[in-house]
Amino acid sequence: MKALYSLFLVFALAAIALVGAGALGMEKAFGLYIPFLAVAVFVVGFCVRVVGWGKSAVPFCIPTTCGQQESLPWIKQSTIENPSTTGGVVMRMLFEVLLFRSLFRNTKVDLHEGTKVTYGSSKWLWLGALAFHYSFLTIVLRHMRFFTEPVPGLIAGIESLDALLQIGAPTLYLTDLVFVVAVTYLFLRRVVVPQVRYISLVQDYFPLFLILAIAFTGIFMRYFAKVDIISVKQLAMGLVTFSWNVPEGIGVLFYIHMFLVSVLLAYFPLSKLMHMGGVFLSPTRNMNCASRKFRHVNPWKFENVHYHTYEEYEDEFREKMVDKDLPVDKPLAEGAE
Amino acid sequence: MSDLPRPEKLFASIDYTPPKADWMDVPTVIKPGRYCYAANPDSVNYVGLPNAHKWNPLDEDWGLPENWQEIIFNGLRERLHKFRSFKIFMDICVRCGACADKCHFFIGSGDPKNMPVLRAELLRSVYRGEFTTFGKILGRFAGGRKLTASVLKEWWYYFFQCSECRRCSVFCPYGIDTAEVTIIGRELLNLLGLNIDWIATPVANCYRTGNHLGIQPHAFFDMIDFFCDDIEDITGIRPEPNFNQKGADILFVTPSGDVFADPGTYTCMGYLMLFEYLKREYGLSVTWSTYASEGGNFGFFTSHETMKRLNSKMYMEADRLGVKWILGGECGHMWRVIHQYMDTLNGPDFQSSRMETPVNPITGTVFKNAASTKMVHIAEFTADLIKHGKLNLNKKRNANVHLTWHDSCNPARGMGLLDEPRYVAKSVVEKFTEMPEGTIREQTFCCGGGAGLNAGENDELRMMGGLPRANAVKYVHEKYGVNMLGCVCAIDRAVLPNSMAYWVPEVSVCGLHELVANALVFPGEKERETDLRGEDLPGEDE
């Protein structure tokens, strides 16, 4: 049901662009104003969210340690999983952000006859997530050729690498294929695995459908219903150089694509997609694990904390302590006065 | 125990298929056997926590104050600002489900609200519905909901079904730690006086007497003295421990569970024997304290403030006695607090200027990793002694023990104490077998009774939560003949014996220093006939 809502929502968005840029001829709005606004919302929103997190304090040093601590010199420390230096923390974060280290550990639980539980390695989510994020990144980088003149060598390089197999004309990008497969897997997983379906919300399906729709419109434009690529580049260059103009006859499919991308950008800071920024700020991963070695300072103060002092304690129990020859600070007579 | 079904029956009841209806529409029913009794108002009052009142979780009316929602909202707002961990964890979960089957309570119960993601979502949905613009406008469509009395009850029920072991955090791609969420969740519930008694009363006891059982100084002395009698019977050597001794080099603090209940008591005897040995051989000067007679910190399950108040005693006592550094016994959350909170909470206020970076006076080893807290774990200390050949050990005395090692979750995932206890264990027993990968080290399973859940009335919950740990023990028991489960946590020593008796009756539970003491050969001791438990020692020829 939630998946259907999301699907419907994405169709509705596509319809808006279809009608708006097509029938109503609002090319300028869908080609320039909305994308510009979306980028602004994305940038400002992203910053607001990150600054918002940054304003919250990190009162305690609470990293999850996933390996042997720094200890006696002859005990081998796990310097990345339990880092005690900044370099180690950087490595830990790099493994996490670039390779999804924690997800790599994933296991799956199974129940068996009798009273037996087993845990099997389960790397599909890791693989799916990795494929999704890296192909997405490649596609975004590839698109930079629309916004640059001349196209930098790096982007051209990525592009030719991506089209390595030289299938068809225009040549098939491998990432397009991987991307669609990965997103489809992530979606199917949500629908098929009962527990994952149970925890999924509309806002889990919506970005998947939105991204998938963006991919399909893009692929369709490139391989089947070809749009005027020269005009698209003109429009894109116009956007980034602020010399806004809308070339004629780009084709409505492009505007749908562009509108969906705009929605994604604007939706980004409002949603869970902000994990992109949040992962860097997660205190359980980005802190040094040597909290007995170096003191961590809490920026806020505890108010009205009363301590139970030793004096109060001895006053209550002095007699009983003296009785057992336990040392006391004040002798019995003095304390009893 | 009487209502608890047989293990096979309990196991057969586990079903991982969630209900058809949306989780927000599945009402929470508080089931006997899975919840702990409400906090005694006297205990809540004693430490001055808000809204102490008599209530029963099974009643419709929980006696909430009129403005309870306002209290929660204000508390939530304050904590979002004070804890970046909490704010980030509210915002960035993508519900990938990697954590879903990692929680021992989920594995053992199949209750979908025990999936860490959903347990956090109970709070997150209210955060979205009441605090974010998106959620306020779109409500349920954005995954938001309103804070109602039934939502509050759901919080209470499930936040006290989380033992805050952090296993889910290990698998989360963003390191989201459900323990952080339930810690804050419990703080919020405490603002309304809604704690459980197995936490509230130990907190009050710790505050008053220094330990969670409320043992007064003379009784504390008597209990230790009683262990010394037993040790004398077994070894012919009588330890003479110091109490509240000014001028000692080291203050020793251990969880009071070790002083009170088997098999922790044998571990406690182990500490006593080790210190006596080191005193006789090398002149080590250690003191116990009746004032700081608890390492475990139940305040951790109440509020950060209560944790600070209870924790302060260790430094205050070290300061008063003028010791150089503090040695800590085998305990779980005590070490999480020491490692991650203590220095921040109380370091500058109470840490004595006389305290020094800990140095093992016998081996000269400098514990650089404890330079700031001035507190060393006894497994680190003993491992260092053994490595330097300072202990005369006879492994054969533990020849009847086939040991496997339970990494207690707080030391494992809160500090990374993994190889030190293994080194010590392997130095004192002949047979050691690891449990399967995925159930040890950072992926270790909670005993099922951590974070204050070791009460009698929630037996079913603890047995369910104990299943993953017991299951791995059962595997090595059946395959390799393992008969002893070692650990460095007092809650483990309290919970695991029950859990083993239920799932793997042939396996016993022990602490690390019980094994050390069994193997430790004193000069001039009498020939031992039994181990610390009074069981016959294995014959030398066996």
User: Is the Cβ of A95 closer than 8 Å to some Cβ of chain B?
Assistant: no
d(CA A176, CA A179): 5
Residue-level pLDDT at B2 = 52
- Whether residues B416 and A270 touch (CB distance < 8 A) is answered with no
| Closest C-alpha among A71, A97, A69 to residue A81 | A69
Torsion of CA A175, A180, A183, A187, to 10 degrees: -170
Sign of CA dihedral B431, B437, B443, B447: negative
User: Is the Cβ of B174 closer than 8 Å to some Cβ of chain A?
Assistant: yes
Question: Which B residues, 5 through 64, put their C-beta within 8 Å of a C-beta on chain A?
Answer: 7-8, 11, 14, 16-19, 23, 48
Is B454:B495 a contact under the CB 8 Å cutoff? yes
Question: Which B residues, 247 through 266, put their C-beta within 8 Å of a C-beta on chain A?
Answer: none
Residue-level pLDDT at B46 = 94
Residue-level pLDDT at A223 = 86
Residue-level pLDDT at B354 = 83
**Which one has a higher pLDDT value, A246 or A81?**
A81
Residue-level pLDDT at B1 = 47
- Whether residues A284 and B345 touch (CB distance < 8 A) is answered with no
Is A34:A41 a contact under the CB 8 Å cutoff? no
Q: Which residue, among B106, B174, B437, would best test binding to A if mutated, counting the most A CBs under 10 Å from its CB?
A: B174
d(CA B397, CA B529): 10
Of chain A, the percentage scoring pLDDT greater than 90 comes to: 75
pLDDT (average), residues A261-287: 96
A187: nearest CA in chain B?
B96
* 3-state class (DSSP) for residue B196: strand
Is A79:A89 a contact under the CB 8 Å cutoff? no
Residue-level pLDDT at B135 = 87
Residue-level pLDDT at A335 = 52
Report DSSP letters for B265-332, one per residue.
HHHHHHHHHHHHHHHHHH---EEE-STT-----GGGGT-HHHHHHHHHHHHHHHHHHT-SEEEE-S-S
Question: Which A residues, 26 through 85, put their C-beta within 8 Å of a C-beta on chain B?
Answer: 49, 52-72, 74-76, 78, 81-82, 84
User: Is the Cβ of A8 closer than 8 Å to some Cβ of chain B?
Assistant: no
Across all residues in chain A, what is the average pLDDT? Answer: 92
Q: Which of A199, A292, A323 sits opposite B97 (nearest CB)?
A: A199
A116: β partners? A112
- Whether residues B18 and A194 touch (CB distance < 8 A) is answered with yes
d(CA B317, CA A21): 76
Residue-level pLDDT at B384 = 98
Give A204-244 pLDDT, tens digit per residue.
999 999 999 999 999 999 888 878 888 888 888 888 888 77
Residue-level pLDDT at B71 = 98
Report DSSP letters for B416-433, one per residue.
---HHHHHHHHHH-SEE-
Q: Which residue, among B77, B78, B81, B91, would best test binding to A if mutated, counting the most A CBs under 10 Å from its CB?
A: B91
d(CA B346, CA B339): 12
Question: pLDDT tens track of chain B, all 542 residues?
Answer: 457 999 999 999 999 999 999 999 999 999 999 999 999 999 999 999 999 999 999 999 999 999 999 999 999 999 999 999 999 999 999 999 999 999 999 999 999 999 999 999 999 999 999 998 888 998 888 899 999 999 999 999 999 999 999 999 999 999 999 999 999 999 999 999 999 999 999 999 999 998 888 999 999 999 999 999 999 999 999 999 999 999 999 999 999 999 988 999 999 999 999 999 999 999 999 999 999 999 899 999 999 999 999 999 999 999 999 999 999 999 999 999 999 999 999 998 888 778 999 999 999 999 999 999 999 999 999 999 999 999 999 999 999 999 999 999 999 999 999 999 999 999 999 999 999 999 999 999 999 999 999 998 999 999 999 999 999 999 999 999 999 999 999 999 999 999 999 999 999 999 999 999 999 999 999 999 999 999 999 875 54
- Whether residues B369 and A290 touch (CB distance < 8 A) is answered with yes
Residue-level pLDDT at A226 = 77
What ipTM does the predicted assembly reach? 0.94
- Whether residues A66 and B173 touch (CB distance < 8 A) is answered with no
Q: Residue B191, by phi and psi: left (phi above 0), alpha (psi -120 to 50) or beta?
A: alpha
Q: Residue B159, by phi and psi: left (phi above 0), alpha (psi -120 to 50) or beta?
A: alpha
- Whether residues B419 and A305 touch (CB distance < 8 A) is answered with no
Q: Which residues of B touch A327 (CB under 8 A)?
A: 243-246
Residue holding tokens 């993508």? Answer: B94
In order of A275, B169, B277, B344, the CA distances from B100 in angstroms are: 18, 11, 48, 32
Token pair of A106 as six digits: 């994933």
- Whether residues B383 and A72 touch (CB distance < 8 A) is answered with yes
Q: Which residues of B touch A315 (CB under 8 A)?
A: none
Is B297:B410 a contact under the CB 8 Å cutoff? no
Q: In which band, very low, low, confident or very high, does the pLDDT at A337 lie, cut at 50, 70 and 90?
A: very low
- Whether residues B81 and A56 touch (CB distance < 8 A) is answered with yes
Question: Which A residues, 266 through 295, put their C-beta within 8 Å of a C-beta on chain B?
Answer: 270-272, 274-275, 278-279, 281-285, 289-295
pLDDT (average), residues A35-62: 96
Task: State if pTM tops 0.90.
Answer: yes
Give A141-199 pLDDT, tens digit per residue.
999 999 888 899 999 999 889 888 777 778 888 999 999 999 999 999 999 999 999 99
Q: Residue B355, by phi and psi: left (phi above 0), alpha (psi -120 to 50) or beta?
A: beta
Size of interface A-B (CB pairs under 8 A): 316
- Whether residues B416 and A82 touch (CB distance < 8 A) is answered with yes
